[in-house]
Amino acid sequence: MKWFFIILFNFLIVNLSAQWPQYRGINISILDVNEENVRDFALTGGNLFRISMPLKPVMVPIEPEFNGKRYIDSSAFEMLDHALNLCEKYDIKVVIDPHTFPGQHILWTMLGYDKIWIDKRYHNYIIEVWENIAKKYASRGNVIAGYDLLNEPDYNINFTPRGADDLNFLYRKIITAIRKYDTIHTVIVAAPHIWDKENEVTIGYTSCIKYIVPIIYDDNVVYEVHFYDPKEFTEEALSKSKAGPYPGYITGVYWNKKTITQYFKNTIEFKKTHNADIFLGEFSCPRWLGPYGGNIWIEDVIKLCEKHNISWAYHAWREASCWDAEKSNINKDEDIRLENTERMAILKKYYKKNKRKK
């Protein structure tokens, strides 16, 4: 009987450790958070904003050669305060995503040659940003769904343990710093990508999640992936009016929902093995690929997330025109928002699954 209760206790601990509800949301730039945009998104049924701040960084300057001269921008916090107030009003939860830190060469993503991975002093700047966020928002409440620690980190399989390029070491330092001030809010650990220079290919986030060492001492952690595969369909099409078709052969590989599932294999295994909550923080393809299967690709990705209880955020809400689901799904040059589009209808169909306050 004693062993029965021990096994039952361990079972409950493991299965109650997953604290994140199911989120179905969208990405938005901090600069685009205003009452109209928040209200209109709430009307779609979506329940999460992943608010990114590359154009209003918490710590400035962010240029690679800033020689340690930096300051915390109070106006960035003023904008974030305003955003949280609006989201609380309309029952939208928020993932805070600073997105950009000193030591990055570009605003939108991390690169393997960023100083962050070369000089450990840059780790301190990241930690300083998160300490300031944690101090300010520890008591903010459940409008904050989570802290997104790094956006799209690069990974060096030949890293130096506890060195500047040791991603898992950096994550542990950030989490330790946050937990000094905030033990309540979820921290979000993003899977990396790898640039294979020899073969000139990128290994994506859904595959590289296997390089993340789970944070076993903190049960309030979510693991994030992004998905933009195949790149020839989701990214190279940005400079074209067509790509694909999907389903179909793209650069010699037949792409359909089965192929997408194969690309998520490591992510699904990670989720099952570690009883982990997973967040698909970004996915998208150009809006005008409707006739070439773009909307089918979007729904196939969402269906996979729904099947495996993975939270997701489409990229993006009223930000870059190329991703804007409210604009033409056919005509690249038609740059006005429409009352109805096929892609927006797909998103709304799944947003309706969210439980919202009446």
Calculate the CA 55 to chain-centre distance.
17
Q: How many domains does the chain have?
A: 1
Tens of pLDDT, residue by residue over 105-136, are 999 999 999 999 999 999 999 999 999 999 99
Place of tokens 């009446």: 358
| pTM flag (> 0.85) | yes
- Cα–Cα distance list, 217 to 96, 181, 186, 246 (Å): 22, 17, 13, 42
The half-sphere exposure of 101 on its side-chain side, counting CA atoms within 13 A, is 25
pLDDT score, position 72? 93
Q: 256 in a domain, yes or no?
A: yes
* Distance (Å, whole) CA 166 – CA 80: 30
Does residue 37 sit within a domain?
Answer: yes
- Written as one string, the DSSP assignment of 6-20 is HHHHHHHHHHH----
For residue 182, is it within any domain?
yes
- 358 in a structural domain: no
Q: How far is CA 241 from the centre of its chain?
A: 27
Residues 60-113 pLDDT 10s: 876 656 666 789 999 999 999 999 999 999 999 999 999 999 999 999 999 999
Confidence of residue 172 (pLDDT cuts 50, 70, 90): very high
Taking a C-beta distance cutoff of 8 angstroms, is the pair 116, 104 a contact? yes
At 189, which CATH number?
3.20.20.80
Residue 332 phi, psi (nearest 5): -60, -35
H or E stretch covering 354 = none
Task: Confirm whether 164 is domain-assigned.
Answer: yes
Give a yes or no: residue 148 inside a domain: yes
11 part of a folded domain: no
Q: What is the pLDDT of residue 77?
A: 98
For the segment 185-197, the average pLDDT, to the nearest whole number, is: 91
pLDDT of residue 64: 58
Q: Which domain holds residue 222?
A: 19-351
- What are the start-end ranges of the E strands in the chain? 24-29, 48-52, 59-60, 71-72, 93-97, 144-148, 187-190, 194-196, 201-203, 221-227, 248-250, 253-255, 277-283, 311-314
pLDDT value at position 6?
A: 30
Question: Residue 35: inside a domain, yes or no?
Answer: yes
